[in-house]
Amino acid sequence: MKYYIIAGEASGDLHASNLIRELKLKDPQADFRCWGGDLMQQQGAVIVKHYRELAFMGFAEVLLNLGTILRNLSFCKQDILNYNPDAAILVDYPGFNLRIAGFFHQKRIPVVYYISPQVWAWKQSRVKTIRRVVDKMLVILPFEKDFYSGHGMEVEFVGHPLLDAMSGKSFAQVAEEAHRPLVALLPGSRKQEIRAVLPEMLKMIPRFPEVDFVIAGVTSVDDAFYAKLTRQQKVPVMKGRTYELLQQSSAALVTSGTATLETALIGAPEVVCYKGGAISFMIAKRLVKVKFISLVNLIMDREVVKELIQQDLSTDNLEKELRLLLYDKGRKKAIVNDYADLRQKLGGPGASARAAATIEGFVRLRSAESA
């Protein structure tokens, strides 16, 4: 089978790489042409476009880069025609993927959507588009199955692939015996969000002289960019070792996104930090329909971790919450207990294998029907 996979972000690269690995176990002859990243390439995929070229976030930023986005769509359509895949696998990244799903549908190429867009948060009208152009939807959050069912669409819950990606990682805190507490700073994977949030995180350094701070850097962002933002504080940057850093941390300051869930699964108490462009934030505030921005709180349907958003992400607020995580044993114990419940809700390990089995069986059936 020939698969065309599109993942436009670092988290999509991770989950798609594990999916590719499982699909190859079922079909060693499978061929993959992809938009993604280094992890997918390591699994043998041919990478057409790296997600570094696709990372536009926020309403204003998308408008400023609209020409590039349209050129990418045009290029993608021609590349699909040249490759002629047996199926498409679209991984999250809805702004682009829902548009290209319509093209696949038009060309009668089966469309599997793995990791649903967050239509339950905003743009619920997208469900109509999904029903029309997506042939098989696989969801990874437990409440998504009920959401889609309420909109007349049957989907399959396969569990969260992070449990596979983090297989073998210790959830025990190893930082308790450390001479000095260690706090991990996870400012995100895009330059825009790093530029907005990291300076706020760095303001904690002079307020906690007894604590060591380390930035969890990403390989897609160059060293010079981090150096420019940290020149006042000289805080170290650890690239490509986020899980290891979190395992050794007493607490973490984390930009909203998949990293909030990764941090919880490791077991590090966290404060969720978010600050976006003023225009983008005002628009989002009017459109978003959920009570929380972190996956941890959304899955648990209550506030497990503190969220400091936009103007609430102040130096005093951040200091207060970090002190609670570092020195309030009751607060830390409550979070660790909630994290255990969170892992139960996510369906256990094996999501990547379950997704691969569903996709492989579905594509073979559709191929036989069209033969």
**Looking at the structure, do residues 329 and 355 belong to the same domain, yes or no?**
no
Long-range contacts of 238-241 (CB under 8 A, 24+ apart): 238/214, 241/216
> What pLDDT, in 10s, does the model give residues 84-103?
999 999 999 998 999 999 99
**Looking at the structure, do residues 80 and 190 belong to the same domain, yes or no?**
no
Q: Which residue has the higher pLDDT, 36 or 290?
A: 36
Q: Residue 62: its pLDDT value, please?
A: 54
**How far are the Cα atoms of 10, 247, 316 from residue 172, in angstroms, in the given order?**
26, 7, 30
**Looking at the structure, do residues 132 and 198 belong to the same domain, yes or no?**
no
- Using CA atoms in the order 343, 341, 244, 216, what is the torsion angle rounded to 10 degrees? 100
**Looking at the structure, do residues 37 and 154 belong to the same domain, yes or no?**
yes
Residue 170, in any domain of the structure: no
**Looking at the structure, do residues 135 and 12 belong to the same domain, yes or no?**
yes
What would the DSSP string read from start to end of 8-69? -SHHHHHHHHHHHHHHHHH-TT-EEEEEE-HHHHHTTPEEEEEGGGT---SHHHHHHTHHHH
**Looking at the structure, do residues 39 and 125 belong to the same domain, yes or no?**
yes
Q: Residue 240: its pLDDT value, please?
A: 87
**Looking at the structure, do residues 142 and 18 belong to the same domain, yes or no?**
yes
**Looking at the structure, do residues 306 and 360 belong to the same domain, yes or no?**
no
Split at pLDDT 50, 70, 90, the class of 173 is very low
**Looking at the structure, do residues 235 and 155 belong to the same domain, yes or no?**
no
Residue 335, in any domain of the structure: yes
136: domain CATH number is: 3.40.50.2000
**Looking at the structure, do residues 233 and 217 belong to the same domain, yes or no?**
yes
In the chain, pLDDT over 90 holds for what percent of residues?
Answer: 70
In the chain, pLDDT over 70 holds for what percent of residues?
Answer: 89
Total count of domains within the chain: 2
Residue 169, in any domain of the structure: no
Residue 175, in any domain of the structure: no
Domain range for 191? 182-345
Residue 168, in any domain of the structure: no
Residue 174, in any domain of the structure: no
Q: Which residue has the higher pLDDT, 288 or 334?
A: 334
**Looking at the structure, do residues 193 and 279 belong to the same domain, yes or no?**
yes
Q: Enter the pTM of the model.
A: 0.78
Per DSSP, what are the bridge partners of residue 136?
112
Q: Report the alpha-carbon distance of residue 48 to residue 7 in Å, rounded.
A: 11
**Looking at the structure, do residues 144 and 188 belong to the same domain, yes or no?**
no
Residue 300, in any domain of the structure: yes
Residue 136, in any domain of the structure: yes
